[in-house]
Structures are given as C-alpha cells and as structure tokens.
Structure 1
Amino acid sequence: MPTQRHLLLCFDAFGTLFTPKRPIPQQYGDVARSLGLSGFTDDQVHSSFRAAFKAEAKKNPTFGKANGMDPTTWWTNIIHNTFHPLTNPDNNNNNTSLPPDLAPKLLHRFASEEGYNLAPGTIPLLQTLRAIPPAPIDKLAIGIITNSDDRVPGILTSLGLRVSPLVYSGDNSSTVPNPEEEYDIDFTVLSYDVGHEKPDRRIFDAAEELLISLPIAQGTEAGEWQKVYVGDEYGKDVVGAGAAGWGAVLLGEDAAEIHDDVLRISEGHGGDLLEVLHAGQAVSVKDFTVLAQSLGLPTSQSEP
C-alpha cells in the first residue's frame, strides 16, 4: 500500500466535473438568434468560435492574465469576434452590428447551471469520500485544478456543490474559509490566477501550496500526502500530473483513445487504485462510479 496516509485528490473542472448542457456552438447560436441575429448555422458558429478562441489565446494568453486583462474582457472579445464575421462579413471590426446584450447574456449563461450539467455521480462521490475516506487514508483534502478563469467556483456552487472560497492568489489574499462550514471542495486553483496552464507543473505546485494552508494539513508537509489528479485530457491532465509527481486518473469512455501507458480500470475492479497510482501507473476510468469502486468506496448511494 502507499506509504502516505494522507490524500490530496484534485479534479479538473470543465469536461470532468461539469459539461455543457448542449453543444456550445448551439447555445451561442440560440442566444444570438434570440437577440435578432440570423443568417448562420451552428456549424458556422463552431468554426468561427474556434478561430476567435485560438486568436485571442495567442494574443492574450491565460485568459488575458499575461497582459493584465480580466477574463470578462477576454471572453467578450471572443464572443464579438465569433459573431462579427457571421453577421457582418464585409467589415469584421464593426461592433455596431452586434446587440449590446449578446456578450453579457452568454457570459451569464456560462457562469452558472444555465449552461452546464454536473457530471453524473459527482455529489455521491464527494459526499462518500468525506464520510468514508479510502483505507488507509487518515486525512483527505479535495481541490480543483483547472485551466480556467474565476467563474469556476460559481458554476460548481450553482450546480449544488459546497465550494470553499479558498482560491490560489499567489499573495495569500484569498478569502479565508469558514472553519465551521463543511465543504465538498476545499480549494480551487485557476490557471488565470497562477499565470500558467496545465500541463505546466507550476499549477500543480500551486495546489500543494494551498494544501499546506488548510487546517487539516497543519503539522504535515506536502511530501507526506499522496497526490492524485482526475481529468479528461491525456496531454494536459495525465502528462501534466505525472510530470509534477502526481498520480493521474483519466476520466472517459472511449477505450480507443486510451494511450498505451494508461491502464484501463473496468467496473468491478478492486479498491486498490491508490496502490496502483503510487506505483507510478496512470489509469483510466469510465465514470465516477468506477472511480469510487476503485477507491474501495461503497457505490449504492443514489444521486441526490
């Protein structure tokens, strides 16, 4: 079994804990059409969005952090640059053709449950982890590490999770959690605040820094904790976590896309996941039910 008796378990956000209710281009198109825009298909929105996102990320990396830009401005640029070519192809720089409510409505939608669904099994998994930590774990901390901006804690809260206000800031200025409050998520690390994105190990180092600030971790060092990361992308999540010295769990159903260095764990697998990860083996699970089983947790609890 692993030598560490404390576990830091962190999750990716988008694509792991929550997913869009409907394809993002469809939601973008629906909001735009509700405001009177027309003459484009969802496929055209998809292509234009991808081009706008790529251009904005290159010009203003890490959601604008590198150039002192706030995420609202960053996303507003993408929204405008998605629809300018579709509604005014002869003059892409003409802002007057877009309804003033377009960006605010889309920003609001994708900052809450209006735009997303919580991944099945999330709440039972987190609540069971709190009630019955995997053997032989004595101390457990649960966090979020995500390539995203400051909307993530609000999205998770709107989806029914109890999210601590502790967010990595780099200068110890984050809101202090209420010691009497019970949280599903102990802290959040956002690439915007760190200034670096997965697979850069500095975003994982930021999580270790926050870990040691938690009351449950007082008197311990980061090296005494087994660190495990769960995400849905091989390159960013599995490779990034492994390079940072973390165990990696890839969440997904398509076995054809599983790399050779990732062990696929099926339903009914025994509860030795922490031992497998401690040995340096990255694993893949289909969903949170299989993850719970592989941690040795009971899975009979139904989704609230």
Structure 2
Amino acid sequence: MSEGNSYQQDNPIMKRNLLLCVDAFGTLFRPRSPIAEQYGSVARSMGVTISDDEVAKSFKTAFKEVSKSYSNYGKATDMGARQWWTEVITKTFQPHHPGPLPSSLTPNLINRFWSKEGYTAFPDVLSYLRNLSSQPSRLPSASPRLVVGVITNSDDRVPDVLSSLGLRVNHLRHGSKIEKEAMQEQPQTDIDFCIMSYDVGCEKPSSEIFDAATSMLGSILAAEGTEFEKQDWDLLYVGDEVKKDAQGAIQAGWDAVIVDRGGEKDLAYEGDAPGVEGFIEVEGKQVVILDSFEALGSFGGYGLLEIE
C-alpha cells in the first residue's frame, strides 16, 4: 500500500444494509469543563474547602476503591448507578470536610452529570446525526437500510445525557423486550438503541459488547417482521480510541473508523480523501482517521452515510 491511498480505493462504497454504532463519551460528547473543576466548583459553593487538584487526586482514589468493592457501577449487587456514584462522591469529599457533607452536594453532582449541565456535544455531532436520521435509508421499509446505535463503556446515564444534549434517542437497551406494536408507534429517532457495559456486564474491547449490538439489531428487525441475515449487513463502529474502539470492533468482526478528538495518532499513511487525516493498521486491517464526526458523510467509505 502506498502513501496517499484513499479509503474508498480499498473499500468501495457499500450498497448493503449498514449498522452504524458509535462510542459516546469522547466521541459524541465531552465534559463542559474538566470534571475535577466542576466537582470542586459545586463543592466550594456549598462550603466545602477543597482545591481542584485535591478533588482530582481524591476522586481518582475514590473511584478505584468503589470500583474494586462494587464492580460495573454496582450492577451485580443491585446497588444501582446512582448509589454507586453517591459512594464515589462521598469518598471524594469526606476526607477534606469535617462533619457531614452538605445534603445537596451528592444529588447536585449526580444530576449535573446525568445531563447537558455537565456535558456538551461536540459541535460536529448533532447536525450530522439529525440530517442522517432524515435519510430514506433510516425508514424500516428501506432497502438498503441504515440503523444507528451507541456502544459505550458506561452506566445507564448515557441515553439521558444524549437526550439532554438534543438527540432523539430510542431508549432500547440490552435486555429490553421489544414489542412489535411499540416499534410501529416509535417516532423518528437519531439513535435507535444504546448498548452499555452496565447492562451487558463487560466492557470494550470485549467482543461480547459488540455482539450485544448485533443481537439488538436482530430483535429490532424481528419486531418489524424481518430477519437479521449477517451476510446482508455491514457493521461499522466509530470511536476515538484505538485499543477499546478500533481494536475491539475489528476483533468482533466489525469495521472501524477513528474520529480525531485531539489525541495523538501514529498514522501509518496520510489520507487524500475528504475529511481523512490518514490511516493506521489495527489487527492487520486499515483503519481510517477522520478529522471530524461529520466527515463520515464524505470520506468515501459507506454510501449510506452520505447526506442527500
């Protein structure tokens, strides 16, 4: 392969059905400001004397401690994500505050990071997904068909965060029971389902979490009266990390694309297609690095991602 080869040359525009799944944190949205700064600002407004550096160090210790005691955000013990985060927040601030913590501190921080108050969407996300949702390929009767999902290492906050940021999210998730009648009444959505490690019980790069997405696709199609035939579908995962996102997807039998969100990428080849910064080799496959999320519509990999 020579420098400058475009993705489209090796991967001609597909005409088959496409399942597009996307990472959430770091790809679709990010904190409005560093989490330690937000934690510190809220705590100080309630009378807790603590610096942002102290918050960062204490939070890291608390997170590790609670994760060790209650894995997967407490799902296995039925603790639930809210109580899990209550433990983390308490252990973060209690060493720096004599006496009981302010009663409103924990609910304030939990609610902040369950919504757009704590997070903001990357500027290239909302318009592209909204435009993509209006394409003819997004209709259940379409041929070829495009289905859009999220696969993320997270607790169950993600659908609410995405909705708060302005995306129309179908709250189908791993383990959901899908009724045919309910599917027929579903309004138009930008995200058809969310697969979270909290529900599946494992994290990327495990193939199991990607398999949960194809299983969800099969359930959706079955509720619509059709069957999932793997040979008729292309599977594409988009994220911002090489190991968890690209490597995990490829090991699960998917294709992968990386969106450059500011991390350093060791490009093996420079790109020459619209929006393509270059390529890297992952698990023996060529993975394209895009300069923005909306470049999915122009880089030449999948025709169904183009905006008509």
Aligned residues: 281
Displacement after TM superposition at 1:155 (Å) = 0.8
Seen in structure 2, the aligned counterparts of structure 1 residues 266 and 194 have a Cα distance that, compared at 3 Å, is farther
Question: 1:287 and 2:295 equivalent?
Answer: no
Counting only pairs closer than 5 Å after superposition, residues 1-304 of structure 1 correspond to structure 2 as: 1=12, 5-38=16-49, 40-88=50-98, 96-132=99-135, 138-169=144-175, 172-173=176-177, 176-177=182-183, 179-215=185-221, 218-254=226-262, 257-259=264-266, 265=271, 268-269=274-275, 280-295=285-300
Preserved contact between residue 203 and residue 209 of structure 2 (Cα < 8 Å)? yes
Displacement after TM superposition at 1:225 (Å) = 1.2
Preserved contact between residue 267 and residue 290 of structure 1 (Cα < 8 Å)? no
Tell me the alpha carbon deviations over residues 17-45 of structure 1, each in whole angstroms, 9 at most, x when there is no partner. 1111111001001111111111x211111
Alpha-carbon separation, structure 2, partners of 1:213 and 1:200? 21
Tell me the alpha carbon deviations over residues 278-303 of structure 1, each in whole angstroms, 9 at most, x when there is no partner. x942221121132322146667x9xx
Alpha-carbon separation, structure 2, partners of 1:179 and 1:71? 30
Q: Secondary structure at the match of 1:249?
A: strand
Identity of aligned residues (%): 42
Tell me the alpha carbon deviations over residues 119-139 of structure 1, each in whole angstroms, 9 at most, x when there is no partner. 1121221133234479xx811
Tell me the alpha carbon deviations over residues 71-97 of structure 1, each in whole angstroms, 9 at most, x when there is no partner. 111111111111122225xxxxxxx43
Displacement after TM superposition at 1:100 (Å) = 1.5
Seen in structure 2, the aligned counterparts of structure 1 residues 200 and 231 have a Cα distance that, compared at 3 Å, is same
The structure whose RCO (Cα within 8 Å, separation 6+) is larger is: 2
Displacement after TM superposition at 1:218 (Å) = 2.1
Preserved contact between residue 274 and residue 295 of structure 2 (Cα < 8 Å)? yes
Name the residue aligned to 1:91: none
Equivalent AA in structure 2 for residue 130 of structure 1:
S
Displacement after TM superposition at 1:209 (Å) = 0.4
Seen in structure 2, the aligned counterparts of structure 1 residues 266 and 99 have a Cα distance that, compared at 3 Å, is farther
Structure 1 moving runs of 4+ over 6 Å: none
Alpha-carbon separation, structure 2, partners of 1:180 and 1:173? 14
Displacement after TM superposition at 1:167 (Å) = 1.1
Seen in structure 2, the aligned counterparts of structure 1 residues 148 and 4 have a Cα distance that, compared at 3 Å, is same
Equivalent AA in structure 1 for residue 110 of structure 2:
L
Seen in structure 2, the aligned counterparts of structure 1 residues 51 and 201 have a Cα distance that, compared at 3 Å, is same
Displacement after TM superposition at 1:67 (Å) = 3.1
Seen in structure 2, the aligned counterparts of structure 1 residues 253 and 112 have a Cα distance that, compared at 3 Å, is closer
Displacement after TM superposition at 1:141 (Å) = 0.3
Displacement after TM superposition at 1:49 (Å) = 0.9
Q: Secondary structure at the match of 2:107?
A: helix
Seen in structure 2, the aligned counterparts of structure 1 residues 15 and 269 have a Cα distance that, compared at 3 Å, is closer
Q: Secondary structure at the match of 1:214?
A: helix
Equivalent AA in structure 1 for residue 31 of structure 2:
P
TM-score by structure 2 length?
A: 0.82
Alpha-carbon separation, structure 2, partners of 1:252 and 1:236? 15
Preserved contact between residue 168 and residue 190 of structure 1 (Cα < 8 Å)? yes
Alpha-carbon separation, structure 2, partners of 1:108 and 1:143? 24
Q: Secondary structure at the match of 1:203?
A: helix
Displacement after TM superposition at 1:183 (Å) = 0.4
Q: Secondary structure at the match of 2:298?
A: helix
Alpha-carbon separation, structure 2, partners of 1:177 and 1:35? 45
Preserved contact between residue 178 and residue 219 of structure 2 (Cα < 8 Å)? no
Seen in structure 2, the aligned counterparts of structure 1 residues 144 and 220 have a Cα distance that, compared at 3 Å, is same
Displacement after TM superposition at 1:166 (Å) = 1.0
Tell me the alpha carbon deviations over residues 184-212 of structure 1, each in whole angstroms, 9 at most, x when there is no partner. 00001111111111111111110000011
Name the residue aligned to 1:92: none
TM-score by structure 1 length?
A: 0.83
Unaligned runs of 5+ in 1: 89-95
Q: Secondary structure at the match of 1:294?
A: coil
Preserved contact between residue 174 and residue 216 of structure 2 (Cα < 8 Å)? yes
